Structure 1
């Protein structure tokens, strides 16, 4: 999956990005899943410890083909992360990077992403969103008929749900 984080004034404006076009000022990642990994960040910043991550982000829209999801980050997470002082951002990222989700990520990539997301969260009056786009291999697997390999001969017009990330 490719995750692109961006700001918009409201859900209606953010939904306009579901077509997959370029998003100005977006911060991208292949590992920062808005539900699970941002839930970890929210807990690190003092959010609810019993939260399974689903309160950190909410699904707003899905493209007709199922290839893209639009997710709104919770106001609580955005506020907490926006309040982190730039001088302590390195420490926050160091603790956040201990998540097993980041074991294959380069530390400097995570820091660059966190710095970009921090800037998005500090901007006032706008909401922070994530557009999640499935990789071609994930789409092929989701569209394959049950029991058939991805890219099989049978072609269905019926979209299938995206595979769950582990």
Structure 2
């Protein structure tokens, strides 16, 4: 049976929240993304509140594609300022729906105005694949048990009309 997973359970346990100041260079941000193998950084203000989000797409579309010098461009110039967020108790399904509806891949998890994590479409996909794998294993065990209890049942075949062909 598939269970409803909350977004805070999908993020890596004790994973560091990767942040960068708005006045950092794009080169520094790109190096940080490469070093941590992520595609998104949170931009915080001096009070630790979420100020924006910097993604690989922001860098490509607003710096690389426009021919700007990434050493001279600051994160604050290209970051996404209107950031959609979720709460730790939001379901993974709800988070996925928000991401799909808004064509985004990252959703900061915010509690009491402060970022406490990040969930990505990759995190949700990994959870869904894991849940499906468990479901398939359970169904396989049931089918194996049925075959043991009723030898020959595997020879039964169902056509597309839902009828059992003997």
TM > 0.5 fold call: no
What TM-score do you get using the length of structure 1 for normalisation? 0.26
What TM-score do you get using the length of structure 2 for normalisation? 0.26
- Structure of greater Rg: 2
Higher helix share: 2
Higher relative contact order (CA 8 A, sep 6+): 1
